[in-house]
Chain A
Amino acid sequence: MSNTPDVAEFARRIRGHTLRMVHAANASHIGGCLSMADILAVLYARILKNDPARPTDPDRDRFILSKGHATAILYAALAERGFFPVAELATYCKDGSKLTGHISHGVPGVEVSTGSLGHGLPIAVGMAMASKADRRANRIFCVMSDGECDEGSNWEAILFAPHHKLDNLVAVVDFNKLQSFGRVSEVLALEPFADKWRAFGWHAVEIDGHDLERLATTFESVPQARGKPTVVIAHTIKGRGVSFMEDRLEWHYKSPNAAQLAQALAEVGA
């Protein structure tokens, strides 16, 4: 894939921005940001048809971040994509900044505000339904966390979307296996996860969520099954790219100190 180097560079840059933002703001959720860095890089550098110059174009692809706490990295992706100046990332969580700790639709490029889990997918389903009704060719992407798949509202939407044949809808689960208070398998097991989605009528694909080429080819080929929504279960590692954060629960909460930031930036090459 000819664009892979650009995507890798995009991923490297947004990881670096995110580490600096979370450090400067003394904020949480760096682990869940880094686990979906590669997913966002592929979407924003390669897949999504959304032009910063025409943010209300009705034919634009929609991106809904349902795990609205992992916000620094989406702001970084939007800035890198040209929705607002990269310099503004330095205001993250600062007094008066648009860049709130949970995702805000006051930020250019953000479609909806989330933060309470289990909200993004139903909204994305509504957008997919409206696009179908208007015979638009766009696609609706919704990135969810694994932990939020505990929410009943998601399963209402998961039941609903195949019934209405919304094959313009792509749910992406950032399956990093760690939720707020422990391992997903210990808090509330999701497995057999893909089988559950398939039983509800989805086309389910399981891939390495850090394999840029595989992510790109998967997203490009949606819908693979006509009349079915797609779920991409992206197996990821929380804190991916920073050795001391990888697969560690405490990095759902902690913010890197100056020394940790320096090491983390060196490790991600930013």
Chain B
Amino acid sequence: MRNTFVAALTELAERNPNLWLLCGDLGFSVLEHFASRIPERYVNVGVAEQNMAGVAAGIALSGKTVFIYSIGNFSTFRCLEQLRNDVCYHGADVKVVSVGAGFAYGSQGYTHHAIEDVAVMSALPGMEVFVPCDPHEVRTITTAIATSGRPSYLRLSRSGEPVLAGSEAWEPRTPRVLRQGRDVVILASGPIASACLEAAEVLASEMAVGVVSAACLKPLDEGFVRELAGEARAIVTVEEHIARGGLYAAVATCLAAARGRPPVFGLAIPEVAGKISTAGDRDALLARAGLSAAAIAQRIRNAIGGL
């Protein structure tokens, strides 16, 4: 995902002389591709995210498009007030890019687990929020936000995520159907969509499970979500994030008042208050959070069985 992002951004910057990339001294072996080709519009600001966000706003208010890049919590929480006041309040053309979504940094521990970032970024006025599930979506979304003229949040995982099969013609602010199925529809955000596809396959003999990538959490395509819900027995959201303020909250809010709607089940990372994180790679941590493919399948089975 990271490499796809940088490759796409570099192509865009080669055509757009007003496109800049700032990083907070992170991106080793990733950002060099951009830095070596467009050194005059690449700035490693150092380990100083508040300044990075403020500088980005200043450059953007001078007529540029600025991407800022760091690890999940650093490009969001560390400079949150700068994003709120300097970027969003001014409608500055700044794109916040984070890497290491959810448990992508595995054993690195809690400081590196970006699991509340979507909620906080979604709360900022005018901030579009994108959580792509595969490199295909990363490229499409990067291209779209580079010309949107408004603030965006782009949440990336790390590397090696597979390209998932799905609808070809796809508009980045519309959910992308990865697998047809109308009994139960899973709305997933991020690379955990691939585990959802596995879960759908596990359940195939029991029910027809559709999987849809909801890469654009804000603005959520509410018409699309309501249409999905129209025929399904249940909607299930799956996200590598806490449920509060994430995909579940967005979908449940969208459907709450819909007449005759199906129930909405949210599978998400539990809040970790008071728990010390232990080591483990992404798969292990997801399994512990009940978000392995097998666990997702079983939880859907349980939910449907209870209807």
Contact = CB atoms under 8 A, between A and B. Distances in A.
A218 interface: no
B63 A130 contact: yes
Query: Which of A127, A128, A159: most chain B CB closer than 10 A?
Result: A127
A245 interface: no
B59 A129 contact: yes
Interface residues of A, number: 30
Given A129-B59, A157-B55, A123 B50 contact: no
Contact of B48 (A116, A131, A133, A160): A160
Given A105-B90, A133-B40, A127 B54 contact: no
A134 B46 CA distance: 23
Contacts of A122: 50-51, 53-55, 57-58, 82, 86
- Place the interface of chain B in its size category: 20 to 34
A147 B38 CA distance: 39
Interface string A114-136: 11101101111111111101100
Nearest to B56: A126
A148 interface: no
Contacts of B50: 118, 122, 152-153, 156
A82 interface: no
A105 B86 CA distance: 11
A208 interface: no
Contact of B58 (A118, A130, A156): A130
B62 interface: yes
Interface string A15-38: 000000000000000000000000
A48 B56 CA distance: 24
Nearest 4 pairs of A and B residues by beta carbon = A126-B58, A122-B54, A130-B62, A156-B51
7 contacts: A58-B62, A122-B51, A123-B86, A127-B59, A130-B59, A133-B40, A160-B51
Interface of B: 40-41, 43, 45-46, 48, 50-51, 53-64, 81-82, 85-86, 89-90
